[in-house]
């Protein structure tokens, strides 16, 4: 377990990159060490800066997280690893909303839009396939845990929601 604390600043719009460069640097070190089979990394940039309502700062926040993720993808490539990318909610994806009068206003709330779920697997050989969204059930964040267990080659505990993989 390694925790990198956020800066104590009045507004994350002041430093939209937040700790993304340091987080990716530490993640790359862990990946390259070969000591870990699983890691969970959180880039809070789009969420925390999105809450400020500052659109330009949010763009810079997303760019910083994207650059940090690129470093991690390169490390995953180097070790023939696998990477799952997802989110727990939106925020930066919907910063302007129409009010009751039809006027656009800044939204600093979490959106209810579907979040991405991507598996980056340079060695993918067709051995798994995701269920299409909305087919037989609505894909949900609760399905990610079981999916991760299967990607790790582990049995899925009975009390988890089904995985996102097609049978």
pLDDT, one tens digit per residue, over 80-117 is 999 999 998 988 999 888 999 999 998 888 988 888 89
- Where do the domains of the chain lie? 12-124, 128-167
Flag whether pLDDT at 31 surpasses 90.
yes
DSSP-assigned letters across all residues of the chain? ----PPP--S-GGGSTTTTHHHHHHHHHHHHHHT--S-------HHHHHHTTT-HHHHHHHHHHHHHHHHHHHHHHHHTT--EEEE-S-BSTT--EEE-TTS-EEE--SPB-SPPPEEEE-TT--SS--BPPTTSSS---GGGHHHHHHHHTT-PPPTTSPPPSB--
pLDDT digits 0-9 by tens, 46-61: 999 999 999 999 999 9
Mean pLDDT of the chain, nearest integer: 92
Q: What is the CATH number of domain 12-124?
A: 3.40.720.10
């Amino acid at each position: 377990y390694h925790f990198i604390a956020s800066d104590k600043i009045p507004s994350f719009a002041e430093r939209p990159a937040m700790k993304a460069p340091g987080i990716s640097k530490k993640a790359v070190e862990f990946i390259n060490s070969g000591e870990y089979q699983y890691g969970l990394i959180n880039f809070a940039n789009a969420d925390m800066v999105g809450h400020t309502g500052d659109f330009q700062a949010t763009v810079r926040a997303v760019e910083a997280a994207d650059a940090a993720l690129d470093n991690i993808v390169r490390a995953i490539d180097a070790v023939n690893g696998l990477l799952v990318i997802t989110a727990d909610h939106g925020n930066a994806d919907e910063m302007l909303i129409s009010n009751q009068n039809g006027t656009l206003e800044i939204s600093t709330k979490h959106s209810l839009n579907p979040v991405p779920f991507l598996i980056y697997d340079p060695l993918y050989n067709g051995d798994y396939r995701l269920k299409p969204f909305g087919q037989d059930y609505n894909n949900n964040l609760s399905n990610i845990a079981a999916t991760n267990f299967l990607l790790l080659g582990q049995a899925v505990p009975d009390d988890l929601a089904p995985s996102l993989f097609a049978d």
